[in-house]
Amino acid sequence: MSARRLTDGGRIDRSQTLRFTWDERGLSGHPGDTLASALLASGERLLGRSFKYHRPRGVMSAGVEESGALVTLGRAARRDPNVKATTQELFEGLAAAGQNAWPNVRYDLGAVNGLLSRFFVAGFYYKTFMGVPPFEWGRGTGMWMRYEKLIRRAAGMGTASRAPDPDRYEHAHDFCDLLVVGAGPAGLAAARVAAEAGLDVLLVEQDFELGGNLLNQPHDPAATGHARELAAVAAAGVRIMTRTTAFGLYDHGVAGLLERVTEHLANPSPHLPRQRFWTVRARHTILATGALERHVAFGDNDRPGVMSVTAARSYLNRFAVLPGESVIVATNNDSAYAAALELARAGAAVTLLDARDTVPEPLSTAAADEGIVVHTNTAPLQAQGARSVDALRTAVADGTGWRTGATFDCDFVAVSGGWSPVVHLHSHRGARPVWNAALACFLPGECGEPLHVAGAAAGIWDEQACETSGRAAAAAAAAALGKSVPSVSAPPAGGWSAPIRPLYEVRVAGQKLKSFVDVQNDVTAEDVRLAHREGYVSVEHLKRYTTLGMATDQGKMGNVIGLALMAEALGKEIAEVGTTTFRPPYTPVSLGALAGRGKGSHFRPLRRTPMHDWNLAHGATMTEAGLWQRPWFFARDRESLAQAYVREASTVRTSVGLCDVTSLGKIAVQGPDATEFLNRVYTNPFAKLPIGKARYGIMLRDDGIVMDDGTTWRLSETDYFMTTTTAHAAKVMVWLEELLQTRWPDLRVHVTSVSEQWAGTAVAGPESRAVLAACVIDPHVLTDESLPFMGVVETRLTGGIPCRIARISFSGELAFEVYVPADYGPAMMDLLWDIAEPLGGCLYGLEALGALRIEKGHVTGAELDGRVSIDDAGLGKMAAGNKHYIGSALRKRPALVREDRPRLVGVFPRDRSQTFNAGALLCRAEQVAGHGDGWITAVTHSPALGHWIGLGFMVGGHAAWSGKPVVAADPVRAGNVEVEIVSPHMYDPSGARMHG
């Protein structure tokens, strides 16, 4: 016999039937069911196979502590393993399947592992396969890796889908005066009182119904107490979130919530996310998280048909499922009696085992009235039955131990080993839980934050007292937040009529039993003792060695038993052994929820220049440069990348090219002391830069290493236009602000990022002046006399577009940078291209830009990598000797001025037809080993030189390697190539073209 649905009662809606599948078989349930209650009501008991031994497992709880009924939900890309059937709401069309079993959970060939279980003790894998001859002789860990794969397949949990997650997830944010976690008697009372006092209250409940333990009580639709309380909570203005788990508490009142938005819906709107990840900032927080009922370790206590007493009560009263006809309730405390009475009233034959020597009144009389036989001094010893419990062997107290007692036939066993307050969230705040020996549980410790604990989470067992403690916590929070409310004194922990008899394991000398401590991880009482014998006596080591308390349930039911057994083995008290540290999340959080919308193209912001569409319309292939989309190359007639960039670079050297350089950082440096400021920031002199001139500058960090480079244009006495590299634009801005605000507050300077305000293009090549002259209203401003090399002019383009032009060159050719207000970017490109195209000009992208600058030996982020001094970069002459600037003191540290530091060099292949890769190591030919003598940072085919060239760094610089054979070592990619080390100025070293 197994469970069956009762004809009336419960909080399910019998007027509707929901069809679902279990292992492809059609079953049904009702709205209000969980998957677990619907499966039980359908007569299903064997729902899973265990992690290691493939033992049959069934429903063991009615909540998040579940470690037996772990199932796989959904199909294909939506396949979600290790879902707790006890928390999954039933919906029409739900598809669930058993896991870790083949062919299915009822007939599982993997169960052969159970026969070998005496070999599979704690630490089995490590002992057997790691580093033990003959498996490992001379093989490193290779064999282990191979075995691990097989073991992981045989032992494990469900299998996740490998397809991309088709669902969407959202991040959301909220604030409140008071966050109340848990909507049982304490939480409901707390939320109502606080809201009535005028606080903005957010009440979160992981269940789909409010009520907590109230839901487990006999449901009488005529009684209105529960409904009245819910109405009062709503009327008080409490903001309520159900299906929402507060999974972590963080600093300063920040809580992480996971809201399951559509997981209970048959046909969710495609506009809804599956889950929302909430970050809530609360001024005060009340934890009314309740308590979880503990199991007891006894033989085969994991058999389907064995579950916690509160679960039995929940299935009976909330879900109208009578879990068995012939029921044994085993307890060591008062709390189990209510369930026993209710099971008896529902028609079950109930036998009650109480580990204590007497049963307190009025419980004994009530039991007798329902015809329940109570055996005192009695505890469960071993469950019997192959796939489901059919009898229970018992043990009778014998001094401090146990001896074998009677055996009772039964089809269901409900066990209560006491209660563990849910102190997890409290522990997240660093407050260690404190063992209370009288109540046999951990209670929340001192915390010192605006955090209150109420109800069973504080070890208060009586429902009325829980409500009072909720009101007391709300009054304390309201008072702290400046609301005048009458204070309520919090009731003390406890509340049973007779004390609990601590009971963690039942065993009889001479009998070998499989008594599970942590069911999900297949950890037995014997494993804990084995760990002790092998020296793993700290709780943290115990956890890691046996896996006790790991995985999806995080030891919610078994941890305390494990601690108690370790304490016993050590001859210590539990308080001395302590507990492992609880960390977020309280229940699992999906990676999808953590990522939210931040995946794929939304992973990071996308920056486009104002000419983005213009570039695309003119054939650009784009590439990423940091967050920016930049033109990579402009292919013509199916050109390859290589063909396109070589053509573009040649065109710039022979005619003219246009390149979108908007992504460069641009900073307005303004104020009476701007000149002095720049003079301190840059290594080279800026004090005498005339108005209408630009200067290339290098800035160092405090430690003397190069931070960034760029040109700065003087527009007026007090107004400069600074450009930075694309990569370091934000960093330089922050740095300038730091200097002005923290170090030199006396300087009257303001810096403003204007990167977004100006669109820029480089016009480069021998024809560049001609092109630009045709586009400005007064071409005379561009003559060599009016605008010499490094000259700056503010003027207008045809049609009156305001612009700034500087004659500066990154390519080494006669070149200009032209900036216009961002919205004019495409118009500027139209003007320039209309002239440049008929002249045989081109548009060029980042690849050609790179080729041109490598030919010239100009450095970029590839070279200025945060390790390079100004001398290393070959720019030592840019460091003024007659002034002090940021980094001037420390750039001369002995190690930074050694002659044998790697210096910027050019690289040619010895055989000019060959190529090499950036990232290759440069080694002297006679010693191609180790880290070599240098490395290559950038490589291009040089159209000007007709072969491949590179830039890199080489110990001592190029002069030291003149004529010496060097190898670009790249053994795992392209192979080694013989190279020559040359001056980094590989093309037009005198700069004649640029000045011409």
| Nearer Cβ to another protein (254/974) | 254
Tell me which stretch binds another protein (CB under 8 A): 249-257, 618-626, 717-725, 778-786. 249-257
Does 890 bind another protein (CB under 8 A)? Our answer is yes
CA distance 501 to 453: 25
Please identify, among the stretches 219-227, 318-326, 503-511, 884-892, the one whose residues bind another protein according to the rule CB under 8 A: 884-892
Q: What are phi and psi of 608, to 5 degrees?
A: -120, 145
Q: Does 544 bind another protein (CB under 8 A)?
A: no
Residue with tokens 């190029």: 958
| Interactions with another protein, residue window 651-680 (CB under 8 A) | 680
Interacting span for another protein (CB under 8 A) from 186-194, 251-259, 862-870, 906-914: 251-259
Question: Residues 352, 372: contact at Cβ < 8 Å?
Answer: yes
CA 586 and chain centroid, separation: 15
Which residue in 373, 617, 691, 889 binds another protein (CB under 8 A)?
Answer: 889
Decide: is 893 part of the binding site for another protein (CB under 8 A).
yes
Measured from the CB of residue 701, what is the shortest distance to another protein in angstroms? 9
Interaction with another protein in 436-465: which residues (CB under 8 A)?
none
Mark residues 39-58: x for contact with another protein by CB under 8 A, - for none: --------------------
Applying CB under 8 A, does 727 fall inside the site for another protein?
A: no
| DSSP label of 491 | P
250 part of the interface to another protein, by CB under 8 A: yes
Q: Which is nearer to another protein, 498 or 594 (CB)?
A: 594
* Contact flag: residue 995 with another protein (CB under 8 A): no
Is residue 884 involved in binding another protein (CB under 8 A)? yes
Q: How far is the CB of 869 from another protein (least distance, A)?
A: 14
Number of residues that bind another protein (CB under 8 A): 26
**What's the closest the beta carbon of residue 168 comes to another protein, in angstroms?**
22
Closer residue to another protein (CB): 377 or 888: 888
At which residue do the structure tokens 């069956």 appear?
4
Residue 677 CB, shortest distance to another protein, in Å, is 12
Question: DSSP string of 79-90?
Answer: -EEEEETTTPBP
Q: Helix, strand, coil % (nearest 5) of the chain?
A: 25, 30, 45
Query: With respect to another protein, which residue has the nearer C-beta, 25 or 252?
Result: 252
Q: Is 819 in the site for another protein (CB under 8 A)?
A: no
Sign of CA dihedral 318, 321, 326, 331: negative
Output Rg (C-alpha) for the chain, integer angstroms.
38
Q: How far is the CB of 991 from another protein (least distance, A)?
A: 31
Shortest spacing between CB 735 and another protein, in angstroms: 10
By the 10 Å C-beta count (0-12 exposed, 13-18 middle, 19+ buried), 289 is classed as buried
| Nearest-angstrom CA–CA distance, 626 and 616 | 19
> Is residue 102 at the binding interface for another protein, with CB under 8 A as the rule?
no
Identify which range of 301-309, 360-368, 616-624, 736-744 contacts another protein by CB under 8 A. Answer: 736-744
Q: Are strands 254-260 and 275-287 parallel, antiparallel or unpaired?
A: antiparallel
**Does residue 745 interact with another protein by CB under 8 A?**
yes
Binding span for another protein by CB under 8 A among 196-204, 227-235, 501-509, 883-891: 883-891
Beta-strand ranges (E) seen in 798-942 are 801-806, 815-821, 842-843, 902-909, 921-924, 934-942
* Amino acid found at 708: D
Of 249 and 410, nearer to another protein (C-beta) is 249
Stretch that binds another protein, among 514-522, 604-612, 739-747, 804-812 (CB under 8 A): 739-747
Q: How far is the CB of 663 from another protein (least distance, A)?
A: 19
Q: Which residues pair with 708 in a beta bridge?
A: 699
Write down the residue that tokens 């590439």 correspond to: 623
In the complex, the smallest distance separating the C-beta of residue 427 from another protein, rounded to whole angstroms, is 16
Using the rule CB under 8 A, is 252 a contact of another protein? yes
Q: Using the rule CB under 8 A, give the single segment among 29-37, 531-539, 742-750, 818-826 that binds another protein.
A: 742-750
Q: Taking the complex as a whole, how short is the minimal distance between the CB of residue 891 and another protein, in angstroms?
A: 9
For the CB of residue 246, give the shortest distance to another protein in the complex, in Å.
14
Which one of residues 885, 948, 953, 987 is an interface residue with another protein (CB under 8 A)? 885
690 binds another protein (CB under 8 A): no
Distance, in Å, from the CA atom of 62 to the CA atom of 71, rounded to the nearest integer, reads 14
How many CB atoms within 10 Å of residue 267?
A: 9
Surface-to-core class of residue 605, CB atoms within 10 Å of its CB (0-12 exposed, 13-18 middle, 19+ buried): exposed
Least distance between another protein and beta carbon 178 (Å) = 16
Site string for another protein, 264-293 (x = CB under 8 A): ---------------x-x------------
Task: Tell me the one-letter amino acid at 864.
Answer: L
Q: Which two tokens stand for residue 456?
A: 């069973």
Nearer to another protein among residue 102 and residue 175 (C-beta): 175
- For residues 537 and 594, which CB has a smaller minimum distance to another protein in the complex? 594
d(CA 28, CA 5): 11
Query: CB of residue 202 vs another protein: minimum separation in angstroms?
Result: 17
- Does residue number 886 form part of the binding site for another protein (CB under 8 A)? yes
Q: Which of 218, 172, 151, 203 is nearest to 8 (CA)?
A: 218
3-state secondary structure at position 848: helix
Q: Which of 152, 533, 743, 867 binds another protein (CB under 8 A)?
A: 743
Q: In this complex, which beta carbon is closest to another protein, that of residue 365 or of residue 742?
A: 742
Residue 702 near another protein by CB under 8 A: yes
Of 13-21, 338-346, 585-593, 735-743, which segment contacts another protein by CB under 8 A? Answer: 735-743
Mask 375-414, x = binds another protein (CB under 8 A)? ----------------------------------------
| CA angle (443, 446, 449) in 5-degree steps | 125
| Per CB under 8 A, 119 contacts another protein | no
- Look at phi and psi of residue 911 and say left if phi exceeds 0, alpha if psi is from -120 to 50, else beta: beta
Compute the distance between CA of residue 292 and CA of residue 960 in angstroms, rounded to an integer. Answer: 74
Angstrom distance (rounded) from CA 40 to CA 17: 16
- What gap in Å lies between CA 521 and CA 880, rounded to an integer? 68
Q: Which is nearer to another protein, 734 or 959 (CB)?
A: 734
Judge residue 137's burial from the number of C-beta atoms within 10 Å of its C-beta, 0-12 exposed, 13-18 middle, 19 or more buried.
Answer: exposed
DSSP H stretches of helix in 122-224: 124-129, 142-154, 185-196
Is the N-terminal amide bond of 894 cis, ω within 30° of 0?
Answer: no
Nearer to another protein, 280 or 485 (CB): 280
The least distance separating another protein from the CB of residue 705, rounded to whole angstroms, comes to 11
DSSP one-letter code for 596:
T
From 10-18, 58-66, 182-190, 733-741, span contacting another protein (CB under 8 A): 733-741
CA 380/CA 363 separation, integer angstroms: 20
**CA separation (Å) from 260 to 31, 191, 553, 583?**
17, 22, 18, 21
Is residue 540 involved in binding another protein (CB under 8 A)? no
370-378 own/partner pairs: CB under 8 Å, 24+ apart: 370/340, 370/341, 370/344, 370/345, 371/344, 372/340, 372/341, 372/344, 375/351, 375/405, 378/330, 378/353, 378/354, 378/405
Q: How far is the CB of 252 from another protein (least distance, A)?
A: 4
Q: How far is the CB of 197 from another protein (least distance, A)?
A: 22
573 DSSP assignment: -
List of residues contacting another protein (CB under 8 A) = 250-254, 279, 281, 680, 702-703, 734, 737-738, 740-743, 745, 884-886, 888-890, 892-893
